[in-house]
Every structure is written in C-alpha cells, then in structure tokens.
A and B are shown apart, each in its own frame.
Chain A
C-alpha cells in the first residue's frame, strides 16, 4: 500500500510566456498543430508523463503533465522540447518556469482567466486553452487528472467571464473607436462608413470597422489613386475631397485621418449633413493630429464627435476597470483552486479505498460462490444482497477516509486503514498466491 501512496500522480507545468521569454524565443518554442500529437505521444510512450496537454499561443507555450515525480520528468521534457524546436535546454530553463501541484493548478486557472495575459482580460485565451485540451483529449493524452483540472479550469474561466467585468471595454485606440460606434449606433452591419484620408490610420480604422461588420465604405482623399486602392481593398467607393460635403449625409460613421494642417470638416458641413439625415445619429471620429474636424461639430444635435484624446481616455478608463475586476477574478481562481486541491488530496486515499473495496468484494464473492454453486437464481439473489451489505458496511469508512484525505490527512488515514483492515497483508498474500 505504501508503495502506491508514494506513487501519487502529481501535476506540473513547464513553460515560457511573454513575461519570461523574448518574442523570438517564444516563436521558437511554439508547437505547430501538426507536430503536437507526435510530441505528446512520445512523452507518454517514453513514460516521462502519464498525462499531457500543451498550450501553445503567440504569448506562451506551456506543457502540462502528470507524473509521479515531476522533478524527474522536467529535464526529460526540456531535452525533448529543446531537441524538437532547435533551442537549448538552458534557454528553456533560464527563460521558463516550472510549477507543481497547487502552484501549477493556480497558474493554469490564472492563464484561463486571462490574469496572466499580455492584455489583461482578453478572453481569446479561454478558447485557446479549450482547443489545446480538446487536442490532448482527442489524442488520448489526458486521463482523470488532467481532465478534472482542465474542466475545472474552463469552469473557472467561464465564471470569471460571467461574474466579473475583466473583459469589458476596449483597450486599444482603434478598437475603442469601434466600441464607441457600437454604443451610439448599435449593430454596425449595414452602416455606411466614410473614411477621410487614405493614410495608414484611416486604413487601420477601416480594417476594424470591416471586421465589425461594416461593408459600405466611402473613401475621400485629396487624390483619387490612394482612395481607389482602399476602395478596392474594402469594397467601397472612392471620391475626391470636394465631394465630401455632398456625400457626408449618407455616412453613419465618419472617420477623419488626414495629414492636413487645417480643419478639413467644418461645423457647417456637419450641420448641413445632419439636416439631411432626418434625425439619424452621425458618429464622427477625428484621429488626425492636428485635428481635422471642427470641435464645434460635436455640438450639433445628434452628432457624436470623438478625438484621439477621447479614445485614449476611454482606453485608460477601461484598463483601470479591468485591474479592479482582476481582483474579483483572482478571488474566483482561489476559490476554484482550493476545490481542486481538496480533490487532489482526496486522490491520496483512493488506492486505500480501492484496496478496501476489492478485499471485501473478494470475500463476498467467495461466500456467494460457496453458497450458490450451481444455482444461478440463488447466486443472483446473493450477489444483490452482498452488494447491498458491502455498500452499507463500507459507507462510513469510505466517507471518513475521503474526508480525511480532503483535509490533507491522506497518508495518515491510509496508514491506519492499512493497519485496521490489514490491506497490506492482503496484498502480500495475493502476491504469494500469485507467485506460487
């Protein structure tokens, strides 16, 4: 029994992320989708780990494993990883991290909850971890331990998503503009977007709005060539600047990003456009420096004007909000990690529980065999009776051992259970019986 107790499975994580490794090293540590099953299979085949799952994104590569001795498994994994990805073992060791048991579980939960992400609160990681777990599970690389930990982790991620606002609010300037547009106009599909200036900023804004569902673009520029190029890229129409006044009324969103030294869009132009829009709101974004849109345009009824400074303010407010919400998320991580710790401690008494049940089941089977030989009907009745009695007799020892295990008294509980129920003796007898 004691041998089994010592061979308890332990979870660990070996990895490197945006906090510990440079972009170039992270790139070299990445696992390609195609080669991943092969690597995991090799680790299982060589007996380095009994379970394995790999999370590999642009910001982190992490190997989660289960082994009786994680510290013995570590150098073997480092060696295999280094050889496979063309990096040195020292690089992994010096720019990576290694956590075991409770620390590994907490780390995974923090990763899933986006508390360890480059952009705090980005929830893309939840899907990435889910995919990584599915790949491992589909390739039969996970068993009860990682299944339980990953499923608890994904549950934690969902709780964080539902119970905190850590993912709320844009944290990039261009996405903040899209979010504000949504706040004013609701759904952006079918909205007409006017982009004034065919430079990089205008193109970036058009990209974000295109991603958000906008398909009708009007591009205005001093010269037609660049506007036509953008119109071809995003599927819109190109116009020269003088046509802006006439067509402004068609736009629901108007983004101005020219390099002009003076005001490009005047208050009068906006007022005139609004008059033709029958009260529909007009969303104006001025991301140019110096400003393109007359500040007075924002005072016109049903227009909403935002400058680059407003967008920066929105972003910094959102970042602060995410920091506050992160504290709530940390509390959820702690709460869920404690449950997994209790479960992991309970695992320490599982071999004892199994041995206990096997011993008394064997006794019951022998007695049934003795009394019901050649009488199938009686055998069935006696089997049913013995099963019921066994469940009742073992209920109290089982629940108490489980409780002691959860409390962290697993080894002591196992020792006394061995002593009281003579489980080790039973094992020895079985071994002797087997060898004879």
Chain B
C-alpha cells in the first residue's frame, strides 16, 4: 500500500500534476521510509514463519511442499533482496517501491496457487 502510494506521488511529482490526490498524500521521503520499515518487519516475520515451518516439516516427517510454501520462499527472496539492495546499493525510492510491489504481487499469487490446490 505504502509502496503504491509512493509510486503514485512519484509519478505526480515527475509529471508535475498538482491535483487533489497530490495534496493529500504525505511526503515522498516519509512514504519511502515507512514502506521500507514495514516491508522489513514483514520480511522478518516471514523469515521466522519459514524457519518454524521447516522445523515443523522435519518434526512431523512430512514430505513434499505445496506450491504456496515454495512461492513463499520466492516472495521472501524478493523482500530480502529489496532490503539488502536498499542498504548496500542505495536502491531507495522508486526501485525499492517496485521491488516491494513485486514481492506483494508474488505473495498474492502464491496464496492463490495454494487456494486452487496446485501440487508439484
């Protein structure tokens, strides 16, 4: 959500569209920082749930992984990359927002795949 708002405001600033939405949106830098903070927290939680999931699979001696679980690891990889690139490569702002949105889209797709019961 914050990343989408960031991209909206970024576009309006680049195109000099000073409309009502422009006026209502919070500052770009704030949106960037909030988006980074929440996506980082989400990544940590996802990482934690992944570790617990792996431990559970081993404990219960379960075999095979559902597409949702595989997808979640892909999502996790995107978010980890977004956080790492922000720190190491200075991928802030638009690049970071695009990565976060890509991660979010992947998350939705992974969940949809899980709902429709595709199995490998």
* A interface residues (Cβ-Cβ under 8 A, vs B): 165, 168-169, 180, 182-186, 277-281, 298, 301-302, 304, 306, 310, 313-314, 317-318, 321
Find chain B residues with CB under 8 A from A278 CB.
Answer: 90, 92
Closest chain B residue, CB of each to CB of A276: B90
A267 to chain B, nearest CB (A): 15
Find chain B residues with CB under 8 A from A186 CB.
Answer: 26-30
Tell me whether B16 is interfacial, beta carbon within 8 Å: yes
Indicate if the CB atoms of A304 and B13 lie closer than 8 Å.
yes
CA distance A314 to B29 in the complex (A): 20
Find chain B residues with CB under 8 A from A168 CB.
Answer: 23
Find chain A residues with CB under 8 A from B94 CB.
Answer: 301-302
* B interface residues (Cβ-Cβ under 8 A, vs A): 9, 13-14, 16, 18-20, 22-23, 25-30, 86, 89-96
Among B13, B92, B93, B95, point to the contact of A183 (Cβ < 8 A). Answer: B13
Known: A186-B28, A314-B18. 13 other contacts (CB 8 A): A168-B23, A184-B13, A184-B28, A184-B29, A186-B29, A186-B30, A279-B89, A279-B95, A281-B92, A301-B93, A302-B92, A302-B93, A314-B16
CA distance A278 to B85 in the complex (A): 11
Indicate if the CB atoms of B93 and A165 lie closer than 8 Å.
no
Listed A/B pairs (13) with beta-carbon separation below 8 Å: A168-B23, A183-B27, A184-B28, A184-B29, A185-B27, A186-B26, A186-B29, A278-B92, A279-B93, A281-B92, A302-B92, A310-B16, A321-B20
Indicate if the CB atoms of B90 and A281 lie closer than 8 Å.
no
B40 to chain A, nearest CB (A): 15
Residue of B13, B18, B30, B94 ringed by the most chain A CB atoms within 10 A = B18
A403 to chain B, nearest CB (A): 43
Find chain B residues with CB under 8 A from A314 CB.
Answer: 16, 18
Residue of A182, A186, A298, A314 ringed by the most chain B CB atoms within 10 A = A186
Find chain B residues with CB under 8 A from A310 CB.
Answer: 16
Q: Given the interface contacts A302-B92, A306-B16, does A281 sit within 8 Å of B23 by beta carbon? A: no
Indicate if the CB atoms of A313 and B18 lie closer than 8 Å.
yes
Closest chain A residue, CB of each to CB of B29: A186
Closest chain B residue, CB of each to CB of A303: B14
Q: Given the interface contacts A165-B23, A184-B29, A186-B30, does A280 sit within 8 Å of B92 by beta carbon? A: yes
Among B14, B18, B27, B89, point to the contact of A317 (Cβ < 8 A). Answer: B18
Closest chain A residue, CB of each to CB of B19: A317
A167 to chain B, nearest CB (A): 12
Among A169, A281, A317, point to the contact of B93 (Cβ < 8 A). Answer: A281
Find chain A residues with CB under 8 A from B89 CB.
Answer: 279
Find chain A residues with CB under 8 A from B95 CB.
Answer: 279, 301
Number of A-B contacts (CB under 8 A): 61
Chain B interface mostly: helix
Residue of B20, B28, B93 ringed by the most chain A CB atoms within 10 A = B28
Q: Given the interface contacts A278-B90, A281-B93, A302-B94, does A183 sit within 8 Å of B16 by beta carbon? A: no
Find chain A residues with CB under 8 A from B9 CB.
Answer: 183
CA distance A281 to B28 in the complex (A): 9
CA distance A165 to B23 in the complex (A): 10
B8 to chain A, nearest CB (A): 12
Residue of A310, A313, A317 ringed by the most chain B CB atoms within 10 A = A317
Closest chain A residue, CB of each to CB of B91: A279
Indicate if the CB atoms of A298 and B27 lie closer than 8 Å.
no
Find chain A residues with CB under 8 A from B18 CB.
Answer: 169, 313-314, 317-318
Indicate if the CB atoms of B28 and A183 lie closer than 8 Å.
yes
Find chain A residues with CB under 8 A from B30 CB.
Answer: 186
Q: Given the interface contacts A168-B23, A302-B94, does A185 sit within 8 Å of B14 by beta carbon? A: no
A293 to chain B, nearest CB (A): 15
CA distance A165 to B19 in the complex (A): 13
B25 to chain A, nearest CB (A): 8
Find chain B residues with CB under 8 A from A321 CB.
Answer: 20, 23
Find chain A residues with CB under 8 A from B90 CB.
Answer: 277-280
Q: Given the interface contacts A279-B90, A310-B16, does A169 sit within 8 Å of B27 by beta carbon? A: no
Residue of B14, B16, B22, B30 ringed by the most chain A CB atoms within 10 A = B16
Closest chain A residue, CB of each to CB of B32: A281
CA distance A174 to B42 in the complex (A): 41
Find chain A residues with CB under 8 A from B23 CB.
Answer: 165, 168-169, 321
CA distance A294 to B29 in the complex (A): 24
Closest chain B residue, CB of each to CB of A275: B90
B120 to chain A, nearest CB (A): 38
B9 to chain A, nearest CB (A): 8
Among B14, B20, B22, B86, point to the contact of A304 (Cβ < 8 A). Answer: B14
Q: Given the interface contacts A304-B13, A310-B16, does A182 sit within 8 Å of B27 by beta carbon? A: yes
Closest chain B residue, CB of each to CB of A191: B29
Residue of A278, A279, A301, A321 ringed by the most chain B CB atoms within 10 A = A279
Q: Which 10 A-B pairs have the closest CB atoms?
A: A279-B92, A278-B90, A279-B90, A186-B27, A186-B29, A186-B30, A314-B18, A317-B18, A302-B93, A310-B16
CA distance A168 to B19 in the complex (A): 12
CA distance A330 to B93 in the complex (A): 41
Find chain B residues with CB under 8 A from A313 CB.
Answer: 16, 18
